[in-house]
Amino acid sequence: MNNPNIVIIGAGYGGIMTAVKLQKSLNVNEANITLVNKHSYHYQTTWLHENAAGTLHHDRTRMQINDLIDTSKINFVQDTVTKVQPDDKKVLLENGELSYDYLVVGLGFEAATFGIQGLKENAFTISSINSARLIRQHIEYNFAKYNNEADKKEERLNLVVGGAGFTGIEFVGELANRVPELCKEYDVPREKVRIINVEAAPTALPGFDPELVEYAMNSLEARGVEFKIGAMIKEVTEDKLIFEKDEKREEISTNTVVWAAGVQGNSLIVDAGFETNRGRIPVRGDLRAPNYDDVFVVGDCALIMNEETERPYPPTAQIAIQQAEHTAENLKKLVQGNNHLESFTPEIQGTVASLGHNDAIGVVFDDKKLFGWSASAMKKLIDNRYLLKLGGIGLVLKKGKLNFFK
Ligand code: FAD
């Protein structure tokens, strides 16, 4: 019998970790493994807000895929998936096609814009190295442009972030650190710059412990972040954002709106005809797609329910990595002729949100709350642990966050 073809699409947390685990657990003569990704590099999505604000260079966030995998065991194809055809067991690429016996879908997320007028056309999203670099350059350009115009335009210096969830809060935290540097570099008075965080829910960081939320808001406000809470964004144009709060419409003149208020699974999975729920595939216990025994789904494309809360788990890197490790184990079983697959249960080890250099909030080890430096150090440890799993101590030394005081 021929070796089975395992095709992994997407080399984010879910895809790359599946590949790295499989290369350790399977011999070359047991399966043909192909990893497809649109870029030559893997990036840490959880650091993109730092790249977007300009507090961390994007080269720290990305790493070449060929340096992470054993190319004698895994065939890396740099290409863009254009269509998945699960009934034909095929993946179409911009430059070819692949047939599979087993498919791992790890194509990640895209922004959910909820039909808000002008948002798709006029707002930025933090979703890749390219989009983060664009935001950084756009903000810098506006600071540089400000003093070159006779009529100084306030929209150049009003930085608006849509959403005060995890990503929105982490991004405004970085902006709060970056803005004073930009003001100095471009001779712009600090009081001219506004960082405005607009959130529709009645609180920032919905779902977080109220004490942590209060700490986060106080810390950010002290560094100049303005919150508009309970404010529903209605429209975004080239030079303003319109929102409704307490039944009143208000406008902020801005040409920088960064949307961080919602994600859904990659739209290719809807186009492929998989059953989806809110743009994600409600996977079975063993992480296979409904009706397809040969398709595993990891990361933000997968929807898994939390039995305790009866709500879906929020998509996180933490869960994507665990799903990848689990899927590699299950694939190994299938390849070796064992059809008894294990069910997946996430082990939530904690959640830590950064508020900028040296500051963060989080809950770890079930219910231990962390604030400030200790939370920030914990976040760095979590990040370094991922790098250790992915590429050993060498990768930690090269890309890790080793300065716990910055
Ligand atoms: P991704 O990491 O998005 O990777 C998808 C991969 O697929 C990418 O490499 C992409 O290039 C590739 N790809 C996409 N489309 C195609 C295509 N058509 N063809 C080929 N390749 C394709 N989670 C946490 O647990 N902790 C955090 O602190 C945290 N912070 C975050 C901060 C920010 C700013 C953001 C945006 C998210 C954060 N998250 C965090 C969420 C976390 O990043 C995601 O849950 C995680 O990235 C999902 O991993 P994934 O493997 O599904 O997809």
Q: Which residue has the tokens 């016996």?
A: 101
What is the CA(118)–ligand 1 centre distance, in A?
A: 24
Phi-psi region at 246: left, alpha or beta (left = phi > 0; alpha = psi -120 to 50):
left
Q: Is 170 a catalytic residue?
A: yes
For ligand 1, pick from 61, 64, 92, 107 the residue to mutate: most ligand atoms within 8 Å of CB: 107
Total residue count of the chain as it appears in this document: 406
Q: Please give the number of the atom of ligand 1 that sits closest to the Cα of 11.
A: 9
Using the atom order of ligand 1, give the atom closest to the CA of residue 316: 45
DSSP bridge pairs for 159:
195, 256
- Atom of ligand 1 at shortest distance to CA of 318? 25
Nearest atom (ligand 1) to Cα of 80: 19
pLDDT, position 135: 98
Predicted confidence at residue 403, as pLDDT, reads: 85
Residue 31 contacts residue 3 (beta carbons within 8 Å): yes
CA of 97 to the centre of ligand 1 (A): 24
Whole-number pLDDT of residue 168: 98
pLDDT digits (tens, 9 = 90+) for 56-101: 999 999 999 999 999 999 999 999 999 999 999 999 999 999 999 9
Considering the entire predicted model, what is its pTM?
0.96
pLDDT at 1: 64
CA-nearest residue, atom 14 of ligand 1: 107
User: Considering the domain 5-109+265-347, what is its CATH architecture?
Assistant: 3-Layer(bba) Sandwich (3.50)
Which residues lie with the beta carbon below 6 Å from any ligand 1 atom? 10-15, 36-39, 45-46, 48-49, 80-81, 106-109, 126, 166-167, 170, 266, 268, 299-300, 315-318, 320
In angstroms, the CA 347 to CA 44 distance is 21
Q: Report the separation in Å between the CA atom of 108 and the middle of ligand 1, taken as the mean of its atom positions.
A: 5
> Residue 399: its pLDDT value, please?
96
Q: How far is the CA of 200 from the centre of ligand 1 (A)?
A: 24
pLDDT of residue 404: 83
- Closest ligand 1 atom to residue 299 Cα is 52
> Can 5-109+265-347 and 119-259 be said to share one CATH topology?
yes
Can you give the residue ranges of every domain in the chain? Answer: 5-109+265-347, 119-259, 349-406
State which ligand 1 atom lies nearest to the alpha carbon of 320.
49
* 373 CA to centre of ligand 1 in angstroms: 26
- Given the residues 50, 97, 154, 170, the one annotated as active site: 170
Centre of ligand 1 from the C-alpha of residue 187, in Å: 36
Residue with token string 């899927």:
327
Phi, psi of 3 (to 5 degrees): -65, 140
What pLDDT was estimated at residue 76?
98
Closest residue CA from atom 33 of ligand 1: 46
CATH 3.50.50.60 assigned to domain 119-259? The reply is: yes
| Ligand 1, atom 30: closest residue by C-alpha | 46
Q: What is the pLDDT along the chain (406 residues), one digit of tens a residue?
A: 689 999 999 999 999 999 999 999 999 899 999 999 999 999 999 999 999 999 999 999 999 999 999 999 999 999 999 999 999 999 999 999 999 999 999 999 999 999 999 999 999 999 999 999 999 999 999 999 999 999 999 999 999 999 999 999 999 999 999 999 999 999 999 999 999 999 999 999 998 999 999 999 999 999 999 999 999 999 999 999 999 999 999 999 999 999 999 899 999 999 999 999 989 999 999 999 999 999 999 999 999 999 888 999 999 999 999 999 999 999 999 999 999 999 999 999 889 999 998 999 999 987 899 999 999 999 999 999 999 999 999 999 999 999 887 7
| Mutation to probe ligand 1, out of 45, 69, 76, 171 (largest number of atoms < 8 A from CB) | 45
Q: Name the closest-CA residue to atom 53, ligand 1.
A: 108
Q: What's the confidence (pLDDT) of residue 195?
A: 98
**Separation of 33 CA from ligand 1 center, angstroms?**
21
